[in-house]
Amino acid sequence: MQYEWGPNIEQETETNTLAAQTYNKIRQDIISGSLEPGSKLQSEKLKKQYDVGSSPLREALTQLAANGLVTSEGQKGFRVVDVSLKELRDITKLRMHLEVHGFKESIAHGDVEWEVAVTSAYRRLVHAIEELSSGKSGSARSWEDIHRGFHLSLVQGCGSPWLISFCHRLYEHFERYRRIYVEYREISPKILEEHEALHQAAINRDADLAEKLLSEHILFAARLTEADARKKGIQDGGEIIAAAEQEMELIK
């Protein structure tokens, strides 16, 4: 969150403290699902696994806890935060609300720098899709990073560092659900089309279209995730109706 130099991408700088490196590694492992939801994070095991001492590890876990990827109870250590359909829906609704708001603000107030950033992110996305479909997977950044980069670029121009940081956090948690539950599919032409449309809406500054496209895009991803999560037997939060779908009605 910085105001002097304008809105920025949340620091991904390779901070060299052990604690920061460990934070990134564990974060990756939680989002990718290799550290399972609800599982206990025992310090001794983690110290061996990530080859660090107590202090950096503890610092990493504390940070993760503050970001909501880990829970920390009293004197009982840390756990990977649990998952539920209820929370998936909550995250989805709020993502729709905030990202759409941020996107429209970007469209209203974003400067040329923002347009350039969106286009760059879009080009990287296209490039990554081409590489993936042609087999060679050797891109520097991962598909996940590039995809996140595009979505966050849309709100990057809104002028509100706070809103941007909230969108980051929500995206991160949403991504965890997707990576845990959605089984890999070929990247369909539909994906490319949707992102192209979003890019166009941004460049054309078409706020209404932007709202419609982004809402649908997020909701579609959420539906897919929820469907696959059900198959794999995620615990239901106890509700029947996907509240996010109601929200959609308002848009149509």
Partner DNA sequence: ATCAAGTATAATTTGGATATTTTTATATTT
Partner DNA sequence: AAATATAAAAATATCCAAATTATACTTGAT
- Residue 59 vs 145, nearer CB to DNA: 59
Site string for its own copies, 103-142 (x = CB under 8 A): ----------------------------------------
CB of 10 to DNA, least distance (A): 18
What would the x/- binding string for DNA be over residues 25 to 44, using CB under 7 A? ---------------xxxxx
Residue of the chain from 10, 29, 59, 144 that contacts its own copies (CB under 8 A): 59
Comparing CB distances to its own copies, the nearer of 27 and 151 is 27
Cα 129 to Cα 71: distance, rounded to the nearest angstrom: 36
Judged by CB under 7 A, the number of residues near DNA is: 22
Q: List the one residue from 2, 17, 39, 235 that touches DNA (CB under 7 A).
A: 17
Give the whole-angstrom CA distance, residue 31 versus residue 36. 9
- Any contact of residue 58 with its own copies (CB under 8 A)? yes
Within a 10 A sphere around the Cβ of 25, how many other Cβ atoms? 16
Span interacting with DNA, options 50-58, 184-192, 213-221, 235-243, rule CB under 7 A = 50-58
The yes or no reply on residue 74 touching its own copies (CB under 8 A) is yes
CB of 53 to DNA, least distance (A): 3
Residue 233 interacts with DNA (CB under 7 A)? no
Residue type, 101: H
Q: Which is nearer to its own copies, 49 or 84 (CB)?
A: 84
* 157 near DNA, judged by CB under 7 A: no
Residue ranges that bind its own copies, judged by CB under 8 A: 1, 3, 15-17, 19, 54-55, 58-59, 62-63, 65-68, 74-75, 81, 84, 86-87, 90-91, 93-94, 97, 101, 159-163, 165-166, 170, 237
